[in-house]
Structure 1
């Protein structure tokens, strides 16, 4: 098994990686032939996506009547992001979105939970106009399909990005589920996984690694990583902090536009 590797880059780089993986999938590469290692079949790889901050759809899990608005919230209705309800029923929308600032519990009248599957991270607000404006992983998934990646080879693991990592495990058992996702991918495809973590998803993944150290015996930790993770690609990772947000707060940012900053 190749050593577990850390990479960094952006989403475009991840697309190139997906293409390279798809190309490699057409052949069986003799990995480490020089040192006598067994051949490694890259067709057995899976891609596991851990999305970033505000990059997962949230859906209502309550019935909430909204007075003075033509829209109500019902179970499985889109909350993040439904721009129509955001502007026409903003008070109800806030009840479904906000968590208690002290213990991260739901609002008494409405609660939301993360959606599941690839559809939860491709577009936040699907629609003719809003879809392209809220696209996250859609183009990346299309690239994978165009280059022949199988449907069961790409797995999204959305999470409630409003919660701190400790609460993700306490409320949703997220890290237990993530561990099972790696193990199921290995069972299904016969090989380890490529981890694509975007933005805050990198911090979530790093927290998962620390959690895993406590979950399994120390002598099995590295063995588990080598068996289940082929490579880790950090896409837009805030590993050195989010200094750009500080700059934007203090002096503003033009995002590359030819406008004089304040």
Structure 2
């Protein structure tokens, strides 16, 4: 009996030790990477079949919202407006982010949770290795239409900080690993460099694991604001452009003014009339008859130009050797309302390699916190959250 009790106590101790060795994981998704809900109290709708009054409903992602004719209602309710240097939703529209702190709204983008999986594979793998949803595995979804400064104004970073502290306390004072994807990576970098102190990071964080980080922008964002980029969503390019031109995150994701990354002589946009480098944004927006776009661009935070180090142990992982938009070529009469011919370079299919690898400067900038860069050949931008090799590498970081 005594031996049995001793064995049971030993087994319990081992199990407790394994559990407490796990660094709690906090997920910050990318653009389009979590559900959004809307509530309507409007005097106007673009069509008679569009509702002007509603309770909260899923506006992203919902196939019903993208059905023919109804899609105009979706575009009108989802687009942001820019006026007098400020962004707002359309009049009479409220937008909120459901499920903060939970993983459900990042595991699947559709509320029915079967149509559009996103972080599901990552969450499933972690739960198989001892993680508990809502305790040691949580997520911080956000309004991915917004740039980091606007998220800060809305209180997102206060909530993110409180969530990390709660996870630390709920997991036996174990430091937290933040795993991010795509836009979620620079969004989190803003938090780490502009919001919290080094003392806070040293106490509450074990590591920062950005996957597919858009550190210096992407040419795909230029396609979005110039001609529209549906990117697999069942809407036309010009419908996509109507939405994308309103959302500040798309301007935030445009190539950063950094001549170490983007050439000041090699153009990103080529037209019969003239060519445009990333240093010609004002002329580009003027010539596409959308001068307000330059004001929207200028209103953004510029912290990615310097790309300050997070001063947290960092694992910068990204896909490589996937053809990625590098230059947009418009023929006579195509600019800006027709899709261009897209010349490709290297990257992950969405973000260019120089932007993905820009985090390498942190190796020198933060000598007291290791920085590991690792490319995964042939793995695309969105496959970075489903690829087995990537997920196993992330799992090894948080359980080591």
TM-score, normalised to structure 2's length? 0.47
2:342 is aligned with 1:251: yes
Distance 2:15 2:34 in 1: 32
Pairs within 5 Å for 1:1-262? 28=17, 41-43=20-22, 45-63=23-41, 68-69=48-49, 74-88=54-68, 89-102=70-83, 103-116=86-99, 117-127=102-112, 131-132=114-115, 134-151=116-133, 152-170=135-153, 172-189=154-171, 190-213=173-196, 221-243=197-219, 244-247=324-327, 251=342
* C-alpha spacing 1:147/1:162, structure 2 compared with 1 (3 Å): same
Larger Rg: 2
Distance 1:229 1:28 in 2: 19
Greater RCO, 1 or 2 (C-alpha within 8 Å, sep 6+): 1
Structure 2: gaps (5+ residues): 1-13, 220-323, 329-339, 350-377, 379-400
* C-alpha spacing 1:109/1:90, structure 2 compared with 1 (3 Å): farther
Report runs of 4+ in structure 1 exceeding 3 Å deviation.
25-29, 63-73, 243-250, 252-256
**RMSD of aligned C-alpha atoms?**
2.9
Query: What number of residue pairs does the alignment pair up?
Result: 210
Q: CA deviation at 1:109?
A: 3.0
C-alpha distance after superposition, 1:22-75 (max 9, x if no partner): xxx95848xxxxxxxxxx9414x2100011111111101224696543877633
Q: Is the 8 A contact 2:58 2:111 kept in 1?
A: no
* C-alpha spacing 1:100/1:225, structure 2 compared with 1 (3 Å): same
Q: CA deviation at 1:101?
A: 2.9
Q: CA deviation at 1:176?
A: 0.9
Distance 1:81 1:205 in 2: 23
Distance 1:72 1:83 in 2: 19
Q: CA deviation at 1:212?
A: 2.0
C-alpha distance after superposition, 1:77-119 (max 9, x if no partner): 1101112122241222112200013422010132322222312
* C-alpha spacing 1:70/1:109, structure 2 compared with 1 (3 Å): closer
Distance 1:253 1:127 in 2: 36
Larger proportion of helix: 1
Q: Is the 8 A contact 1:59 1:79 kept in 2?
A: yes
Structure 1: gaps (5+ residues): 1-24, 30-39, 214-220, 257-262
Q: CA deviation at 1:144?
A: 1.6
Larger proportion of strand: 2
Q: CA deviation at 1:184?
A: 1.0
C-alpha distance after superposition, 1:102-156 (max 9, x if no partner): 422010132322222312211112458xx34x21101111112222212211111
